[in-house]
Structures are given as C-alpha cells and as structure tokens.
Amino acid sequence: MRLPWGSEYVTMASSTEKDGNLEQTTDFWMFLTEPQNNAFLVNENQARISSAVDAPLGSIWQEIATFKLPLYDYAIAWWGQGWYWDNDNFMRWRPVFIEWITGQIDEETFYIRQEEEFAAGAQRYEEILQEQTSDS
C-alpha cells in the first residue's frame, strides 16, 4: 500500500479541500520557494536547475552555464503545456508537435490533438490517484 503523502498530493486542490491540509500546502510552498531550500532539494541530484529566483546553481549547472552555444530559430526538443502527466503522455504528444512544426498538420489540427492528449493524460493520472487513495 502506497500512502499519498508526497508533495504532489499535498498541493492538489482536491486534497487541500477534501483533507483540509491548506496550511500544510502553504507551509510547503513557502519552504520550497526559499532560494536556499529550493537549491538544496534540486541540487541534490542536479537533474534540473532550481526554479526559485536567486537560488544558486549546482556545480554541474554552474559549469554548463559557461558553455557558449549557437542560437537557433527553433529546436524540435520539447514543447508543451508545461506539465506532462506520464511517459505515455509525453511519448504520444511529442510526435504531434513534430508533425505540426514540420508542416505535416495544420495549426487547428495540432491544437485539437494537443488538447485530446492532454485530457487523456489527465484522465490516466486521475485514475492512478484514485486507485492509490482507495488502497489506503
């Protein structure tokens, strides 16, 4: 049995309202947005850079920041709504973006398919959360 005690559970609106943990949610975000706290958590494995303003970069990212890179008009890497629900969502959505950016589909089709996959990913995520909370 996996208990839903992670930050993703604490900060969800439904859990905040249902479980009455608004104070814990607020405390967590206040802690997380302090530059030193955010840097400590993020720099532990340095998979990403800190999202808090003025948080120091880890040693790997400090070195990467010194690299001189060419600028391109665009890059086909990742672009989305800032959140992907699961690996399936990311792997299904990326080809849609590539089809659009390379002119294989028009903008209207792109936005329709983007919204469909985003909704499908959200549905899968909700089902997983409901499954986990019903087990506890």
Q: Is residue 107 part of a domain?
A: yes
Q: Find the distance separating the first CA and the last CA of the chain, reported in whole Å.
A: 6
* pLDDT at 84 (0 to 100): 61
In a domain, 8, yes or no: no
Judge whether 28 lies within some domain: no
Residue 25 belongs to a domain: no
Does residue 91 sit within a domain? yes
Q: With 0.85 as the threshold, say if the pTM is over it.
A: no
Q: In tens digits, what is the pLDDT along the chain, a chain of 136 residues?
A: 344 455 555 566 666 677 777 788 788 888 888 898 888 888 888 888 887 888 888 888 888 888 876 665 555 555 555 556 677 777 788 788 888 888 999 999 999 998 898 888 888 888 888 887 776 6
Find the domain containing 124 and state its range: 70-136
Indicate whether 32 belongs to any domain: no
CA distance 118 to 81: 8
The structural domain count of the chain equals 1
